[in-house]
Chain A
Amino acid sequence: MKRWRNSRVREQAAGYLFILPNFAGYVVFVLTPILFSLYLVFVDWEYLKGFAGIRWVGLDNFRELGNDPKFLHSLKNNVVFTAISVPASMIIGLLLAVLLNKYVYMRNTLRTIIFLPYMASLAAVSVIWSIMYNASSGPINAFLKSIGIAHPPGWLSSPQSALYAIIIMSVWMTIGYTMIIYLAGLQGISKDLYEAADIDGASKLRQLLQITVPMLSPTTFLILITQLIWSFQVFAPVAIMTQGGPIDSTMVLSYHIYLEAFRFYKMGYAAAMSWVLFAIIFVVTIVQWQGQRRWQNHF
């Protein structure tokens, strides 16, 4: 009995010791910053004056958000960016995965090549694309002119097309990721289903739509959630390629937060905005989870 109790005590102690390094770091670098940020939301802080510059303003920061055209613009741009880039990347990634899974030679080589952009740094990729997008003489517009398009888009230099230019680049970058995850999902589908469908004479297209796509729905929801979260936080391409311009046409939340916090040192206001970003991500994720449950109950 004594030995048993002794071993329980030792297990408790071991548990705390094993958690301690990570937990200490968690308290200092995650939990405390989160709580402090929740406090910042309610203050106006003249940062350079130190703690003496803090003034409690209640919900003023959120009221200001409603009147900030740049913020509303950012929200709209984030939504457009996500609504186009995420589905596009998922559809192309799924098609590639289906083809790579069964119908090709040199599967691994092709897979690695298509996956490569995803491993590259967004900084390097943004640098390359911003030169290729050069409106007057870049290779993209030179090609478009050579195939008879007299007035190709101004890409990054035009407010009508800048956001779409960044969307195209981001789709190019992320299809490798969606393809890889879909490929892994495809491995999990039983071959019997397709054989049965072959026997019933179902066409390949019908098999894709009625077996592959439904069976992949857990994978689809997983990609959807990770991609939505990722795309709402998009930062580097905007910071490097356009700095939010021209005339705020590519201003997104994360870059707006960055400007307010680290250029203008409006910590309270920036913190309020960062929690709005969190709220959006949170709601989107919860809605996805609910959707997934309901969807899976159909099968």
Chain B
Amino acid sequence: MQPAAEAIPTTRIPVRKQPGLRIAVKIAVTVILAAFAVLMMIPFLWMLSTSFKINAEVFRYPIEWIPKTWHWDNYKKVWTGPNAFGIYYLNSMKITSITVIGNLLTSAMAGFAFAKLRFKGREFLFLLYLSTMMIPGQVLLLPRFILFDHMRLINTHWSLILPGMFTVFGTFLLRQFFSTLPNELLEAARVDGAGFWRMFWQIALPLTKPALVTLMIITFNWHWNEYEGPLIFLRSRELFTIPLGLTTYVEEMGTNYVMTMAASVSSFIPLLIVVVIGQRWFVEGIASSGLKG
């Protein structure tokens, strides 16, 4: 009695020899997931469609996904006038770009030193960094507010830029990556007479591109979308970032839902374009942060 020996050919052959079944399963799953993806998109599609309507049409049911007439003037109102959306864009771009570049630079330098340079107190300093990495933002916001209040930085963009430029997370992420570079590479450069800055800038940094991209995308996403910091530190309308500008506008519009939605679309579409164009970067950047961080 040897059922096991018999089981091998009978189960193995059908799996290998039914490409038709495999394709059928694949098509079925694709259809199901495509339906799911459409379901996931419904809030965005509804936002887009509503933003071209007039208020009387917003809550009509069944939902008119394609507006009868396209009211482009909703967008005209959002992008012109005293509280036009353009200024929020400039503010968000300014804050995000300075923060991201600054953070990449200081984190890369510190990460390189922690990973590859020997100096007294290195282990202690790194432990200090690690021990504060888990402290949540809510703990830091409050004393930072008091600090900025005394530095007269409340209601300036610096209150958002400065703390973002020196992050423990970025240092840790890049330190982990620099550690994987072989020491021989740097030793060889040293024998050739390269200084430490050249070792860092011309040899180590180009090799860490994937980690830099990851850090860039995470910090970009974080600062572009951040809500609590701007809400606490900014007071003047002309300094607001996109998320804060959006919610302030929404509060003023009340039940004027078409304007609310036109503003939401305006806040979201450029990011959407960036994500779709750079989807490989974004997806891989987020994924690898998850695996290493």
Contacts and interface: CB of A to CB of B under 8 A. Distances in A.
Interface in A91-142: 96, 99-100, 103-106, 108, 110-129, 131-132, 134, 137-139, 142
Interface stretch (B67-75, B77-85, B105-113, B205-213): B105-113
B140 A34 contact: yes
A295 interface: no
Contacts of A21: 105-106, 109-110, 166
Interface stretch (A58-66, A82-90, A157-165, A255-263): A255-263
Contact of B59 (A126, A134, A184): A134
A139 B50 CA distance: 11
A116 B147 contact: no
Given A104-B33, A142-B61, A262-B145, A201 B138 contact: no
Nearest to A134: B59
A233 interface: yes
B264 to A, nearest CB: 5
B144 interface: yes
A123 B243 contact: yes
A21 B200 CA distance: 15
B110 A124 contact: no
A33 B143 contact: yes
Contact of B129 (A26, A201, A262): A26
A96 B271 CA distance: 24
Given A128-B264, A138-B59, A257-B138, A181 B119 contact: no
B243 A32 contact: no
Interface residues of A, number: 99
Contacts of B129: 26
A199 interface: yes
A5 B264 CA distance: 62
Interface string A236-278: 1001100000000000011001100110000100110011011
B219 interface: no
B288 A184 contact: yes
Contacts of A254: 138, 228
Given A29-B144, A99-B29, A139-B46, A121 B267 contact: yes
B166 A26 contact: yes
Contact of A110 (B33, B147, B196): B33
Contacts of A180: 283, 286-287, 290
Contact of A105 (B27, B61, B114): B27
B152 to A, nearest CB: 14
Interface string A145-165: 010000000000000000000
Interface of A: 8, 10-12, 14-16, 18-19, 21-26, 28-34, 36-37, 40, 96, 99-100, 103-106, 108, 110-129, 131-132, 134, 137-139, 142-143, 146, 172, 177, 180-181, 183-185, 198-199, 201, 219, 222-223, 226, 229, 232-233, 235-236, 239-240, 253-254, 257-258, 261-262, 267, 270-271, 274-275, 277-278, 281-282, 285
Closest 6 CB pairs of A and B: A25-B166, A15-B119, A123-B243, A33-B143, A22-B110, A18-B113
25 contacts: A11-B119, A14-B119, A15-B118, A15-B119, A19-B125, A23-B110, A23-B125, A32-B143, A99-B33, A105-B30, A115-B279, A120-B225, A121-B227, A122-B243, A124-B246, A131-B50, A142-B63, A146-B62, A184-B291, A199-B11, A222-B290, A257-B138, A258-B232, A267-B146, A281-B136
Interface of B: 7-8, 11-12, 15, 25-27, 29-30, 33-34, 36-37, 40-41, 43-44, 46-47, 50, 59, 61-63, 105-107, 109-110, 112-114, 117-120, 122, 125, 128-129, 132, 134-147, 162-163, 165-166, 168, 171, 196-197, 200, 221, 224-225, 227-228, 231-232, 242-244, 246-247, 250, 257, 260-261, 264, 267-268, 271-272, 275-276, 279, 282-283, 286-288, 290-291, 293
